Structure 1
Amino acid sequence: MNCKSQKQRAIRAFEDFLSTPLETLLQQHLDTPNESAALSLFHDVAANVPAYKAFLAEREINPAAIQTLEEFQKLPAIAKENYILRYPLADLCRHGQLQACDMIAASSGSTGKPTFWPRFFTDELQIATRFEQIFHDSFYADTRRTLAVICFTLGTWVGGMFTTNCCRYLASKGYPITVITPGNNKEEILRVVQELGSAFEQVVLLGYPPFLKDVIDTGIARGVEWQQNQIKLVMAGEVFSEEWRSLVGERIGSQNPCYDFASLYGTADAGVLGNETPLSICIRRFLADNPDAARDLFGESRLPTLLQYDPVSRYFEVQDRALLFSGDNGIPLIRYDILDTGGLISYDAMIQFLAQWGFDTVAVLQDERLKQSSIKLTKSYTQHSPRGIHPLPFVYVFGRSNFTVSYFGANIYPENVTVGLEQPVIQEWVTGKFVLQVKEDADKNRFLSVVVELASGVEGNEDKQQTIAFSILSQLVRLNSEFANYVPSEYQMPQVALAPTGDPEYFPIGVKHRYTRK
């Protein structure tokens, strides 16, 4: 792509973004058949991306023969192993031109070796609409002076820079949003809020849930009066409970969690795939209080993250409980298996399901907004119709299916822990089996738990526990760059418990061992 066409593409996309109202963007899926967007992207990628062309050729698939959604859904799924890691980075981009992308983010794999994800300015504009949805529908940021504090890790990691850019695009669109980027520097975040917060009508903290809670708790201990700043939270990278949301909401003085929080389903691979809305949060809180309804809806007794998505921007499918998506990016992805388990529910099906359980989401949201109108000064809070109700489909996500756990937004892999147990002396004490979990203490703070199986005849003691914990920590920091950069140092030390060989709870004999628990 030459400089002129690159420039024209950027100008055209930015003009469209700035001039198109959010409501128009969120309604386009009603006029666009989902399959037409997916098929159109497929034919474009099959013709213009060298790696995907080769991927199809190796499997003797003729792109011209794929003309219906049914044929599209029979295409082999792509994943990191069979696609991203098999071809040169440039070949994964259109026309084999890496230089047509103007930004590269990194995500680290099980060995700590990063995967690179290039993107162009126009890719960010697509994702900026997800942020606009949150800032407009949840936070009413079109009418309130807003300080957006980026608390995601800065650097090559996708969260910080991507979020910063998207928030700045909203400011360009006319939202009274001012952005500041302390990253995951807790002292700097607290200084920013205390010194600048009073100049704005609300302060939005954007970061990983456990880190934001730590910031809030540290602030309370130092006398920060969060409720004076009308705090809102935008989060990504973790599944959390509604009890967690309520606890944190209480500590920041939140009057309405449906409108004061929003979680993103975000990835380095493709930006933001979906986001919480006031509607989805209201539904999830109902389901948290009604576990039978949740089990009926999701088929499991655990509560997934529940979001809405735009099927024109990201086309989702479910195959054997795995979520696949197709979407345009610097590296366009067709039926990409991100290794998350979950499912899809149409808007109409969700509303009908809730009606069967006697729950009227719209009425509940209406009541909440009217309640808030008595304590907010902004006129828009007294509107009769609550914002944040769009007939977009729902996606629910249980999390990674490849045995990782997510901790402060870092993917932690069993392979990293294994290396810690394979060090001299330690390897004589243990069998090599362990169970990796992220747990919460009584105050809802997260910690990394590792239960390790002792070798036959070996007795556990505190010295062994500490030696193993330090060894695991040193290998996590060495091997997993996300862990080293995302997790605050005071939360990095794993809590190690030692269990005897064949412990029935963690290491039952004769059963295939699982190294992680959700």
Structure 2
Amino acid sequence: MRRAVVFAFVWLQDGFVRLFTHSVNTHKILLGPGIEPLRWQLGRWRAWRTFERAARRVPAYRAFLAERGVAPRLRGAALAAEFAALPEMDKDSYIKRWSIPERCVGGRLPRRGVVVDESSGSSGVPTSWVRGRDERLATRQLLQVGFSRTATTLRKQPFVLNAFSLGAWATGMNVTTSLTEVTMMKSIGPDRDKIVATMREFGTDYTYIILSYPPFLKALFEDDRIDWAQYDIVAAFGGEGISESMRAHILRYATTAFGSYGASDLEINIAIETEFTVALRQALVADPELAARLTRQREYGVLPMVFQFNPYDYLIETNAEGELVVTIVRKENINPRIRYNIHDRGHVLRMRDVVPALRSRGHTQVLAERFLDLPLLFHYGRSDLSVDYNGAVVAPDALRDVIAGDPVLVRAVENHRLISFEDATGDRQLHIALQLSDGAGMLSAAEAGPRIVAELRRMNGDFHNAIRTAPAGTLPTLAFYPHRAGPFVGDGAKLKNEYVWQLAAGEEGKWGLDLDWAAER
């Protein structure tokens, strides 16, 4: 009986949403204040309904559940616990094992209205993601709601410059298709020359909303061919996080700088930074006690990005390993993802948990910021031993395969490490460190480096594009180190090798990194 009542209620509110929220203004009703518990509960019910629909109608998901002995229905009692017991899926356990049609509702792709975009991770094999008409409409509405919140504060007509990578890449494609109908836009891609030329041509009568990856934005604003003080700029970024010192640098040129969280595997713009989350993050920097109460910074060694998301659209959980598990609760998605593990570290807090901590620590300036009563997503970066570089995800396993495929390197190199750090000027850097075996002769980075980086670029299309568009002074560096020297001085002390380091600003000097040789474009 409860199932029937819940499903009838969810069906009715879905009908209300479809009937009345095809415009941005009416869609904002679902973001109104004071209904956070309702949004939360509706989201869980919608996730329940979407799970049971996928279990019935998606061949791959039926097989996935059967392999694990999971019933295709939930009882409805203690729903949160029942849902959390469902098996997680990820790219290896689900996406790579079944074809795209098998992962679709009804076991086939619609004949019309499907857009295909792609991601290319560390394996170098592009993964295609299919998005139907209704889900693209939902994504478009969410992007437009966020855009409208920004646009209402502007003094001049907005002009969006989309500087994300163009082509079949998910972010650039979806931004263009989602915002074209509500604003003036030029999709340029990460090309500084064209952005400078466009701004010179159109002049200073617009507020330019520039969307791109953080390193590109920083390099763009340091371009002295344009007098940035004469222009109104809003910066929006994705693909990777930034430090608050980097944000402060960007804010020398832009009036605001906000980021968003998403993934090709799921959707772009799942969660966004707001005035409130930025103020909260800055409070976490200033107040270690507050950070200890709200975050896992001490555990992960990194300050999290802080976003807000709508639980009516996304159910976000954290598993025992501290990884985010995301369910897109809308039934319209033709390729459902139920409890999808993107292998990012993070956790969720609701406003009712955060506000008391801010009050007790005296952070009244944070509470004074305009905010939505949406839950908060604390994001600490990748959990799968990868690093971000200029919007690309670079995995140490790819470097391992390059070494293993080279007859000289496979004999000479004992260990490898990807080292990410922020230099003194605020630029994010990637250093490829290779430890030589005991007794091996020194190799030349200038000779071996080009072929190592070239092979990594061949294997990983995102990394290739990231190098091609990297700002000056931020190309990856590579060096060989004698056995147990430099960043490998402590190797052997732990049971497992470390393949990724995320260094705090200024720590590169502590480890004696050799940064002389840099990749070429």
- Shorter-chain TM-score bucket reads 0.7 to 0.9
Is 1:204 the counterpart of 2:215? The answer is no
Deviation at 1:443, TM superposition (A): 1.4
Match of 1:482 among 448, 451, 462: 462
What residue in structure 2 maps to residue 238 of structure 1?
A: 240
Is 1:508 the counterpart of 2:505? The answer is no
Match of 1:338 among 338, 342, 367: 342
Match of 1:288 among 274, 285, 291: 285
Distance 1:306 1:103 in 2: 30
Is 1:31 the counterpart of 2:63? The answer is no
1:267 aligned counterpart, secondary structure: coil
> Residues 146 and 415 (structure 1 numbering): CA distance in 2 closer, same or farther, change over 3 Å?
same
What residue in structure 1 maps to residue 184 of structure 2?
A: 178
Distance 2:469 2:275 in 1: 34
Distance 1:288 1:130 in 2: 30
What residue in structure 1 maps to residue 398 of structure 2?
A: 416
What residue in structure 2 maps to residue 103 of structure 1?
A: 115
2:387/2:395 contact within 8 Å kept: yes
1:13/1:125 contact within 8 Å kept: no
Gap regions ≥5 residues in structure 2: 1-13, 503-521
> Residues 21 and 183 (structure 1 numbering): CA distance in 2 closer, same or farther, change over 3 Å?
same
What residue in structure 1 maps to residue 218 of structure 2?
A: 213
2:190 aligned counterpart, secondary structure: coil
> Residues 234 and 467 (structure 1 numbering): CA distance in 2 closer, same or farther, change over 3 Å?
same
1:113 aligned counterpart, secondary structure: coil
Distance 1:455 1:179 in 2: 54
What residue in structure 2 maps to residue 43 of structure 1?
A: 52
1:312 aligned counterpart, secondary structure: coil
Distance 1:102 1:447 in 2: 38
Deviation at 1:310, TM superposition (A): 0.3
1:447 aligned counterpart, secondary structure: strand
User: How many aligned residue pairs are there?
Assistant: 468
Q: Compute the TM-score of the two structures, normalised by the length of structure 1.
A: 0.85
Distance 2:179 2:498 in 1: 40
Is 1:324 the counterpart of 2:325? The answer is yes
Is 1:269 the counterpart of 2:268? The answer is no
Distance 1:284 1:362 in 2: 9
1:99 aligned counterpart, secondary structure: coil
The structure that is helix-richer by fraction is 1
Deviation at 1:121, TM superposition (A): 2.8
Post-superposition CA distance 1:237-266 (Å, at most 9, x none): 11210011001111x153xxxxx1211101
Of 18-27 and 442-451, deviating more is 18-27
Deviation at 1:361, TM superposition (A): 4.1
What residue in structure 1 maps to residue 194 of structure 2?
A: 188
Distance 2:413 2:235 in 1: 42
Deviation at 1:180, TM superposition (A): 0.5
> Residues 228 and 123 (structure 1 numbering): CA distance in 2 closer, same or farther, change over 3 Å?
farther
Matches within 5 A, 1:306-455: 306-320=306-320, 321-327=322-328, 328=330, 329-361=333-365, 364-365=368-369, 386=370, 389-422=371-404, 423-431=406-414, 433-455=415-437
Could you tell me which amino acid in structure 1 is paired with residue 403 of structure 2?
L
Deviation at 1:299, TM superposition (A): 2.5
Is 1:303 the counterpart of 2:321? The answer is no
Post-superposition CA distance 1:275-302 (Å, at most 9, x none): 1111111111111222332233213232
> Residues 364 and 460 (structure 1 numbering): CA distance in 2 closer, same or farther, change over 3 Å?
farther
Distance 1:505 1:478 in 2: 27
Deviation at 1:481, TM superposition (A): 0.7
2:174 aligned counterpart, secondary structure: helix
Match of 1:59 among 48, 68, 83: 68
> Residues 195 and 15 (structure 1 numbering): CA distance in 2 closer, same or farther, change over 3 Å?
farther
What residue in structure 1 maps to residue 518 of structure 2?
A: none
Gap regions ≥5 residues in structure 1: 1-8, 172-176, 255-259, 366-385
Distance 2:274 2:140 in 1: 15
> Residues 439 and 469 (structure 1 numbering): CA distance in 2 closer, same or farther, change over 3 Å?
farther
Amino-acid identity (%): 27
Deviation at 1:440, TM superposition (A): 2.4
Post-superposition CA distance 1:144-199 (Å, at most 9, x none): 41000000000111110111112124x1xxxxx20101111221121112212424
Could you tell me which amino acid in structure 1 is paired with residue 354 of structure 2?
M
2:325 aligned counterpart, secondary structure: strand
> Residues 440 and 362 (structure 1 numbering): CA distance in 2 closer, same or farther, change over 3 Å?
closer
1:29/1:312 contact within 8 Å kept: no
Deviation at 1:19, TM superposition (A): 5.9
Of 403-412 and 283-292, deviating more is 283-292
1:150/1:163 contact within 8 Å kept: yes
Match of 1:149 among 149, 156, 161: 161
Post-superposition CA distance 1:28-82 (Å, at most 9, x none): 6543413212111111211221211221122232223442332111111111111
1:198 aligned counterpart, secondary structure: coil
Alpha-carbon RMSD: 2.4
Could you tell me which amino acid in structure 1 is paired with residue 413 of structure 2?
V
> Residues 31 and 295 (structure 1 numbering): CA distance in 2 closer, same or farther, change over 3 Å?
closer
Could you tell me which amino acid in structure 2 is paired with residue 191 of structure 1?
A
